[in-house]
Structure 1
Amino acid sequence: MQLSNYIADLLYRYECVIIPGFGAFLTRNQSARIEQATNTFYPPSKVLSFNRQLQVNDGLLANYVASAEKCSYETALQRVRKFSAHLNTELNAGNPISIKNIGEFSLNEERAIQFEPLNKQNFNTASFGLSSFVSPEISRIIQGETVVKTDKGVVNLATQQRVSRPYLKYAAVAAIALTASGFAGMKLYENQVQKYNFAQRQKANSLVENQIQEATFVIENPLPVINLELAKQIGKYHLVAGAYRLEENADKKIEQLREKGYSPMNMGVTRYGLHQVIYASFEERIDALKKLHEIQRDENPDAWLLVQEID
């Protein structure tokens, strides 16, 4: 089903994707790891889980479906609800269900939902192109000393080899000495360069200060300072009150919400030619969902959450 692809797309971007009326998929980052027993390397990934308690529509899935299929939000929401009803019907009938690229659902003896994620799907975008692999264990061989019997007695070849090549020791000492002298010369050169650069910066700063002093002038009658306080919406989580074809209707809605104590704003014209009016904006998703549930319960059950960066 196409909706399973949309859900998978959102799991790459968000930590929580809710299917209204069914439940929510949650992701948690997991670092790269090595399984010692099998010498298997696993890249960074996201651990996928399911929460049956989160069923309230936050607008994320329906808004993404509307954008992908170029349809209205209401049409997309209706399709999402139909998909959720199908999942609940199959589970209640005792039939296991599978969502492509995500996982499988079933009911246990207590009629509780069991979710088994598909481990082959990695929703961590930082691990794109990486896969698990098995590395053979590295064997380290320690070579022992070779002993040979001669007419003069027992001879250790490894010791004899070290003794027979004393020039290697002197060559190593010479290399260290050359390296030290080269390093000292390089440090001396760097100190000279730093002193020269510092002197040039001092000259440049002095020249700039003189030019600034020459360009200074005084205004005898300066204009009074005017402080303007403009309301600015911050955050990418917006609670949508409605969408209007005519801009004057959107302005009326903004006035009504302002009288109720909200901080409304016109988000501009969408690709469908509608003016979206929002109650307020939030930086944190959890704060936006809390306020959304309150508005849906007490004032507007059709309010929904829009996730969008403000330019």
Structure 2
Amino acid sequence: MNIDSYISQLLYRYQCVTVPGFGAFLTETQSAQWVESANSFFPPKKMISFNTNLKNNDGLLANHIASSENKSYNYAVNAIEYQVVKWKKALESNEVLVLNNIGTLRLNADSNLVFKPSEQTNYLSSSFGLASFVSPVVKRELFEQKIEAIVERAPITLETEEEEATSSRSYLKYAAIFVLGLGLTGSIGYPLYQNQIATETVLVESAVQKQVETKIQEATFFIKNPMPAVTLSLSEGKLPYHVVAGAFRDEKNAIKISKKLANEGFKARLLTINKHGLYPVVYGSYATLAEAEKAKREINESKNPEAWVLIEAL
């Protein structure tokens, strides 16, 4: 059995996934990064590390394999032990152990395990769909300097008296033609101008009327004696907001976790089986979303960073 994929699935939801007798893969959230020298942006992600000192079986990986394969817990434990033996033999033979979507493991000169995480997979679910990208450098041109350079290079021409006289006569000729054109344009274009003014006046009046109608529709009317506010309350026990600790396929595991949370002081309870065939366990249920979000933030910081809010009247 190749357990790489099962470890990878658990890394999306948990900070620590232990492989009994081998070590533990740990995740740590890293903020978004901007590398100015390379003009590159990297989204938030989970950094993966490996700790050889954490080898005790916490049941997480074995339970997940048993549920996914529809096998017994003991079968999953034996499968993990067999895989660990194969991994150790490969490492002792100075082979590089490649774990798909997780990273590589090898022994260094001092026979210590060296782990190199994979850069291809981002296990932070909130960054789904975000990818790194390189932004090209924005080139800014100094147009003022270019204009000054053009002005400095522009040639200066001097006109003689004869050329000035010729130029003056040309200007007079063009001015006479322009005045004649103005007379013709005035006699023909004035009625057209009046029609254009009338058309624009109608358009302006229509626009003003639309603005007045919009203001009337958006107006707020105040009632001196308003009706008292109506408060709706849920029936007793029907709290719609729940902070979920996890969902388990095995009801016994769900009951065990529920009791553990209750002993820690939470108003934990086990919900009925959902449409996915899982038994959700909640830290507590709340009447408002604000209360549930506040409790979730506190639990994320102190207990379980993967806790989430379920909205359903139960």
Q: TM-score, normalised by structure 2?
A: 0.51
- Aligned residues of 2:40 and 2:135 also touching (Cα < 8 A): yes
Deviation per CA, 1:152-208: give whole Å up to 9, x if none: 8xxxxxxxxxxxxxxxxxxxxxxxxxxxxxxxxx9xx98x999x74732x53x4x43
CA distance in 1, matches of 2:131, 2:65: 30
1:113 is aligned to 2:113: yes
1:3 is aligned to 2:3: yes
> Which of 225, 245, 258 does residue 236 from structure 1 map onto?
245
CA distance in 1, matches of 2:32, 2:308: 31
1:88 is aligned to 2:97: no
Q: Structure 1 pair 95/51, CA: closer, same or farther in 2 (3 Å)?
A: same
Q: Structure 1 pair 150/41, CA: closer, same or farther in 2 (3 Å)?
A: same
- Aligned residues of 2:2 and 2:83 also touching (Cα < 8 A): no
- Aligned residues of 1:237 and 1:284 also touching (Cα < 8 A): no
CA shift, 1:83, in A, is: 1.9
1:126 is aligned to 2:88: no
Mark the structure with the bigger radius of gyration: 2
Higher alpha-carbon deviation: 129-138 or 109-118: 129-138
SS in 1 for 2:38: coil
Structure 1 residue runs without a partner (length 5+):
153-185, 213-233, 245-249, 251-262, 289-306
1:208 is aligned to 2:215: no
SS in 2 for 1:34: strand
1:199 is aligned to 2:200: no
- Aligned residues of 1:237 and 1:285 also touching (Cα < 8 A): no
* Residue number in structure 2 paired with 1:28: 28
CA distance in 2, matches of 1:20, 1:309: 31
Paired AA for residue 107 in structure 1: L
Q: Structure 1 pair 122/235, CA: closer, same or farther in 2 (3 Å)?
A: closer
Paired AA for residue 74 in structure 1: N
SS in 2 for 1:29: strand
* Residue number in structure 2 paired with 1:79: 79
CA shift, 1:236, in A, is: 2.6
Aligned residues: 216
CA shift, 1:104, in A, is: 1.1
- Aligned residues of 1:235 and 1:284 also touching (Cα < 8 A): no
- Aligned residues of 1:25 and 1:48 also touching (Cα < 8 A): yes
* Residue number in structure 2 paired with 1:39: 39
CA distance in 1, matches of 2:47, 2:106: 19
Q: Structure 1 pair 65/285, CA: closer, same or farther in 2 (3 Å)?
A: farther
Paired AA for residue 78 in structure 1: N
Percent identical pairs in the alignment equals 32
CA shift, 1:94, in A, is: 3.7
Q: Structure 1 pair 264/9, CA: closer, same or farther in 2 (3 Å)?
A: closer
Paired AA for residue 245 in structure 2: K
Q: Structure 1 pair 116/269, CA: closer, same or farther in 2 (3 Å)?
A: same
CA distance in 1, matches of 2:8, 2:27: 11
More helix by share: 2
* Residue number in structure 2 paired with 1:141: 141
Q: Structure 1 pair 38/235, CA: closer, same or farther in 2 (3 Å)?
A: closer
Deviation per CA, 1:51-97: give whole Å up to 9, x if none: 11111222211121122111222222222222223223333444331
CA distance in 2, matches of 1:39, 1:14: 32
Deviation per CA, 1:198-241: give whole Å up to 9, x if none: 732x53x4x438x99xxxxxxxxxxxxxxxxxxxxx97379xxx
- Aligned residues of 1:29 and 1:44 also touching (Cα < 8 A): yes
Looking at both structures, which has the greater relative contact order when contacts are Cα pairs under 8 Å and sequence separation is at least 6? 1
SS in 2 for 1:37: helix
- Aligned residues of 1:32 and 1:44 also touching (Cα < 8 A): yes
SS in 2 for 1:208: coil
- Aligned residues of 1:21 and 1:81 also touching (Cα < 8 A): yes
SS in 1 for 2:37: coil
* Residue number in structure 2 paired with 1:299: none
Q: Structure 1 pair 69/39, CA: closer, same or farther in 2 (3 Å)?
A: same
- Aligned residues of 2:45 and 2:124 also touching (Cα < 8 A): yes
Q: Structure 1 pair 139/269, CA: closer, same or farther in 2 (3 Å)?
A: closer
CA shift, 1:8, in A, is: 0.9
Paired AA for residue 30 in structure 1: Q
CA distance in 2, matches of 1:75, 1:268: 28
CA distance in 1, matches of 2:79, 2:43: 36
